[in-house]
Chain A
Amino acid sequence: MSDLRDLYQEVILDHTKHPRNFGALPHPTHCASGRNPLCGDQLVLMLEVDADRVRDARFAGKGCAISTASASLLTEAVKGKTTAEAHELFTRFHRAVTSVAGDEEAAAGLGKLAALAGVREFPTRVKCASLAWHTLEAALAGATEPVSTE
């Protein structure tokens, strides 16, 4: 295993201890919930989309360090993006956390989100990092059923 510090990087620990955009959004246009039954992680992602652009994003719920940090970083990353750009970011992120080690290209262009690419060395934790992102996809698609990573 690579060093645990590759998984628990400063940016992840920071976002876990001080999650950004945490709490309810007063008037969400899109909303989805996701859960990981194995861990007990659960979160709700709320978006305010106007003219096909994500104006605001917040999340609530509880989970492990990886899933909390991932949700926090997601809300920062998608704000101001068009829904197409948000979807593109999901694809890029998904590739980064599931690609084989050493595929540096996959993490390129992710900015701070690249910190989460370390989970690919920890197969059991990939779903922790992915939960918020699958929930994002569901919210954008207008899903009504909760997302599950199992």
Chain B
Amino acid sequence: MRLDPEAIAREFPILSRRIHGKPLVYLDSAASSQKPAAVIDAVSRYYETSHANVHRGVHTLGEEATSAYEAAREAVRGFIGAESAREIVFVRGTTEGLNLVAQAWARPRLGPGDEVLVTELEHHSNLVPWQMVCGQTAATLVVAPIDANGDVIVGEYARRLSPRTRVVALAHVSNALGTVNPVAELAALARRSGALVVVDGAQGVPHMPVDVRALGCDFYAFSGHKMYGPTGIGALYGRREVLEATEPWQGGGSMILNVTFAKTEFARPPERFEAGTPDIAGAVGLHAAIDWLRALDLTAVHAHESELVAYATQRLGEIPGVRLIGTPRERAGVISFVVGDVHAHDVGTILDGEGVAIRAGHHCAQPVMEHFDVPATARASFAVHNTRTDVDRLAAGVRRVLEIFG
């Protein structure tokens, strides 16, 4: 099936905006995607018709809200191929999911001599929580390097695995370069040495079909807002045995079976990890985003975006002075580049003046910037609604940058 990006774009109310008098070209979906009407409407409809707190009241609205919330959990299960909905924990987003694993699973288990292996590609959200837990437990953080193209060097990664490696934390797709990590291969190597495998899926789920069992990971975290869903909701998949063995993280309502002053018995997963009233409307919106994305067919989404990335690589590559940062074997959704010696923020401001929204900065991946010896890059990221015309507008904007700084 081929996508019709123009028709898809019409489903996004915000894309009809004009920015500085020009039609908006939104190329910053890797930071946060825009929302189709189906998602916005689902959230509104929920608040207009069915809102109440979940897992508490016996009244009709409470039951409707609970069933909508649990239906969203089931939708997430199906979306990423988990075995059971009990393996799906709702969280605020990828960052919270990864922090949960670091603090609830890793912190009680790590000690001096233990190692946590991350890749050089990681977003700060899959690096800082591990640095923190290593600081708390006197474990050691080990980094698997990337090569000049921005691919993890599998041999170097394998060399760093040992019986001391307790956790391997890696991105499914790099947010800074678009590198698709060979997660199944890396996870298999990690499992062989007995390490827990934690995957940051924030940039994976919007762009390709994901099957957590085929990937062979123990945890997989992602955010709703990068895959056309609302902000403030995300999910953490945890393989059943691992999640069952994980201690509670935050305490409060909903995560208990029985409470006395002497002792509290905790609920089973996923409730054990969902203290307090959750983001019910967010879960409903995430459910709508999943349905919407699955109806488009993620294989077609991946094909469309790969074609755009290839076209953008060609169009930007033919502009003298533009340097593409990262040329990974397999790429999804993202292109990073620098324009001559113009700072990325100046590139971003000038493109904004042309109605083109991109990200400029270090993309919360400072070690990656250091690897390529640039302080920052400009990053264009693609979504299902982007077209070749959007890429042409980007290329024209980059030429304007060179004109101003010429």
A is bound by B: yes
Determine the chain B residues whose CB is within 8 A of the CB of A39 once the complex forms. Answer: 343, 345, 361, 375-376
Would you call A128 and B345 a contact (CB within 8 A)?
A: yes
**Is A102's beta carbon under 8 Å from chain B?**
no
Map CB proximity to A onto B327-356 as digits: 1 under 8 Å, 0 otherwise: 000000000000000111110011011000
- Shortest CB distance B406–A (Å): 9
> B197 → chain A, closest Cβ, in Å?
31
Using CB atoms, name the residue of chain A closest to B362: A40
Chain B residue nearest to A13 (CB atoms) is B405
Interface of B is mostly: helix
Q: With A and B bound together, what is the CA distance between A39 and B349 in angstroms?
A: 13
Which of A45-53, A57-65, A71-79 lines the interface with chain B? A57-65
Docked Cα-Cα span, A7 to B350, in Å, equals 10
Cβ distance B318 to chain A, nearest Cβ, rounded Å:
24
Measured between beta carbons, the chain A residues less than 8 angstroms from B345 are: 39, 64, 66, 125, 128
B343 touches A63 (CB 8 A): yes
Q: How many of B's residues come within 8 Å of A, CB to CB?
A: 17
A64 CA / B349 CA spacing, docked (Å) = 11
B346 touching A64, Cβ below 8 Å: yes
Flag A2-22 by CB within 8 Å of B: 1 or 0 each.
001101100001000000000
Enumerate chain A residues within 8 angstroms of B346, measured Cβ to Cβ.
8, 64-66
Query: What residue of chain A has the Cβ atom nearest to residue B19's Cβ?
Result: A1
Q: How far is the CA of A66 from the CA of B404 in the complex (A)?
A: 13
Whether B25 sits at the interface, judged by CB under 8 Å, is no
Q: CB-CB contacts of B240-268 with A at 8 A, as 1s and 0s?
A: 00000000000000000000000000000
Do A1 and B353 touch (CB < 8 A)? yes
Residue of B344, B346, B352, B376 with most chain A CB atoms under a 10 A cut-off: B346
Known: A122-B349, A128-B345. A40 touches B375 (CB 8 A): yes
> CA A66 – CA B349 in complex, angstroms?
11
Partner of B361, one of A4, A8, A13, A38: A38
Report the bound CA distance from A8 to B404 in whole Å.
Answer: 8
Chain B residue with the shortest CB-CB distance to A40: B375
Q: Indicate if B213 sits at the interface (CB-CB under 8 A).
A: no
B residues near A4, Cβ cutoff 8 Å: 349-350, 353, 404
In the complex, whether B369 has a CB less than 8 A from a CB of chain A is yes
Write the nearest CB–CB distance from A39 to chain B, whole angstroms: 5
Residue of A nearest to B346 (CB): A65
CB neighbors of B among A105-122 (8 A): 122
Q: Which chain B residues lie closer than 8 Å to A13 at the CB level?
A: 404-405
Q: Does B20 contact A (CB under 8 A)?
A: yes
Q: A38 to chain B: which residues have CB within 8 Å?
A: 361
Question: A66 CA to B348 CA in the complex, in Å?
Answer: 13
Q: Which residues of the partner chain B approach A66 to less than 8 Å between Cβ atoms?
A: 345-346
Inter-chain contact B343/A64, CB cutoff 8 Å: yes
**Given A64-B343, A65-B405, A125-B345, A40:B376 Cβ within 8 A:** yes
Q: Which residue of B lies closest to A37 (CB)?
A: B362
Min distance, Cβ A59 to any Cβ of chain B, angstroms: 16
Residues of B within 8 A of A63 (CB): 343
B20 near A1: Cβ-Cβ < 8 Å: yes
How distant is B3 from chain A, measured CB to nearest CB, in Å?
32
- Cβ of B127 to closest chain A Cβ, rounded Å: 16
Residues of B within 8 A of A125 (CB): 345, 349
Q: Is the CB of A7 within 8 A of B349?
A: yes
Residues of A within 8 Å of B344, CB to CB, are 64
Contact A62 B404 (CB under 8 A): no
Question: Which residues of chain A are within 8 angstroms of B376 by Cβ–Cβ distance?
Answer: 39-40
What is the distance, in angstroms, from B350's C-beta to the closest C-beta of chain A?
Answer: 6
User: Could you say which residues of chain B place their CB within 8 Å of the CB of A41?
Assistant: 375
30 A–B pairs (Cβ distance < 8 Å), ordered by A: A1-B352, A1-B353, A4-B349, A4-B350, A4-B404, A8-B346, A8-B404, A8-B405, A13-B404, A13-B405, A38-B361, A39-B343, A39-B361, A39-B376, A40-B361, A40-B369, A40-B376, A62-B375, A63-B343, A64-B343, A64-B344, A64-B345, A65-B342, A65-B343, A65-B346, A65-B405, A122-B349, A124-B349, A125-B349, A128-B345
Q: What is A's interface to B at a CB cutoff of 8 Å?
A: 1, 4-5, 7-8, 13, 38-41, 62-66, 122, 124-125, 128
